[in-house]
Amino acid sequence: MKPFEKKVWLATPTMHGDELAYIKEAYETNWMSTVGKNINEAERIVAEMIGVQHAVALSSGTAALHLSMKLASIKPGDKVFCSDMTFAATVNPIVYEGGLPVFIDGEYDTWNMDPASLEKAFELYPDVKTVVVANLYGTPAKLDEIRAICDAHGASLIEDAAESLGATYKGKQTGTFGDYNVISFNGNKIITGSSGGMLLTDDIDVANRVRKWSTQSRENAPWYQHEELGYNYRMSNVIAGVVRGQLPYLAEHIAQKKAIYERYREGFKDLPVTMNPFTADTMEPNYWLSCLLIDKDAMCKQVRSDNEAAYIKEAGKSCPTEILETLASYNAEGRPIWKPMHMQPIFRMHPFVMADGDGRCRTNAYIDCGKADSVNADIFHRGLCLPSDNKMTETEQTQVIEIVKSCF
């Protein structure tokens, strides 16, 4: 096999032409700031598509998460339960407000926050009032169960649907299950504005507060009058033009991503691996990234320090490090699973809760817990994300499958 001449990417933006027309319209009418028709239309279309009353366009998903923390009234020292195996942007905004993230282990059915571990966390910390759940790689978490646990404990739920735009759970769009919901238009998401994000809510007062905070919190006065802390978090009308142009293609992108996922599943059916899972009777993912998990007894020896990885090659077995290095040698881009937050040096002193045992682990699950690995450490150890770009051709994907096979 020869290396790919054109790099095969994990996920890149897919433009259609309408984006440029809307950018041009903003330019020609001189609506080049943070007000204009593109913003209004992008907000209207998203609210209608997702089935929420209000969508507020912001500069990023991270900004939307930050304002969600303010809406949830996180105060310095407040503990907040959150997904552990996710992009750091799910968690950092808790810390911006002085909150203390408490990481919750995952489950094997969807790779998301484990409801049993969340329940355990409320036993350990009954006073916690906020939960942040992410839908990993476009697969919804067990959102009904998580919502019910939050309700039972009087906690508000922030749904980080940054990766799951267009995915449904029990027939309902993700980004509607939280009290505050977040989507992202970052450059490698399924729909992109090059950057950008939105906060979704059914509450008009919430939407109004977010609009105000995101534009420096001006009061109604003849001059710049301020009673509250403000932020420069509003989406630009140029970016909104890209988003507005992309939105009609969400279903098409999902269909392409689904085809990629299914070809991988078929291609790997004789290998000791499984694809990132979902529960077909309750959910339809958006298939943002296709990932695989190597069976425990098919793992060759792999060790990871903070900055490096090494493995020992073994016939019939493989490991994420070997597959990622081999893909790279053929000019194809894969990625490790998000390294769990409880294993990150910056968060090592934060509590981490697992459903079994005493449910509590204060540092890295491998080193200090003295008990079985957490679900998340295990998925990080055995899993990886495959090239999932919707412009990848079938021929290219067939070669990716052959490359992965050659590692075993």
Ligand X SMILES: *Cc1c(COP(=O)(O)O)cnc(C)c1O
For binding to ligand X (CB under 6 A), which residues are involved?
60-62, 86-87, 89-90, 134, 160, 162-163, 184, 186, 197
Taking only Cα atoms into account, the Rg of the chain, rounded to an integer number of angstroms, comes to 22
User: CB-wise, 31 or 233, nearer to ligand X?
Assistant: 233
Q: Strand 197-201 to strand 180-184: parallel, antiparallel, or no bridges (unpaired)? A: antiparallel
Q: Residue for token digits 């700031």?
A: 33
Calculate the alpha carbon distances from 98 to 74, 80, 93, 229, 275 in Å.
Answer: 8, 10, 9, 15, 37
DSSP 3-state assignment of 172?
strand
| Least distance to ligand X, CB of residue 89, Å | 4
Neighbours of 187 (CB within 10 A): 13
For residue 89 the two structure tokens come to 């942007």
> 172 has which bridge partners?
169
- In this structure, what DSSP letter does residue 154 have? T
Is 301 buried (19+), middle (13-18) or exposed (0-12) by CB count in 10 A?
exposed
- Least separation, in Å, of the C-beta of 184 and ligand X? 3
Q: Considering the complex, state which of residue 83 and residue 397 has its C-beta at the smaller distance from ligand X.
A: 83
- Selection from 329, 338, 186, 185 nearest residue 276 by Cα: 338
Q: How far apart are CA 212 and CA 34, in angstroms?
A: 13
Side-chain-side CA neighbours of residue 230 (13 Å): 14
Min dist. Cβ of residue 319 to ligand X (A): 24
Closest residue to bound ligand X by CB: 61
Nearer to ligand X, 90 or 376 (CB): 90
Residues in CB range of 150: below 8 A, 6 or more apart:
131, 156, 157
- To the nearest whole angstrom, how small is the minimum distance from the Cβ of residue 153 to ligand X? 23
CB of 12 to ligand X, least distance (A): 14
Closer to ligand X by Cβ: residue 60 or 181: 60
Residue 298 has a CB neighbour count (10 Å cut-off) of 16
What sign does the dihedral 66-71-75-77 (CA atoms) show?
A: negative
- Closer residue to ligand X (CB): 165 or 404: 165
Which CB, 250 or 271, lies closer to ligand X? 250
- Least spacing, CB of residue 297 vs ligand X, in Å: 31
CB closer to ligand X out of 19 and 160: 160
Task: Write the DSSP symbol of residue 399.
Answer: H
Which residue in 377, 368, 373 sits closest to 336, CA to CA?
377
In whole angstroms, the minimum distance from the beta carbon of 160 to ligand X comes to: 5
Shortest Å, Cβ 334 to ligand X: 17
Q: Which residue has the tokens 């749904």?
A: 159
Q: Which is nearer to ligand X, 36 or 197 (CB)?
A: 197
Residue among 84 and 163 whose Cβ is closer to ligand X: 163
Indicate the residue among 52 and 134 with the shorter CB distance to ligand X.
134
d(CA 26, CA 28) in angstroms, rounded, equals 6
- Minimum gap (Å) between residue 90 Cβ and ligand X: 5
Q: Find the shortest distance in angstroms from Cβ 62 to ligand X.
A: 3
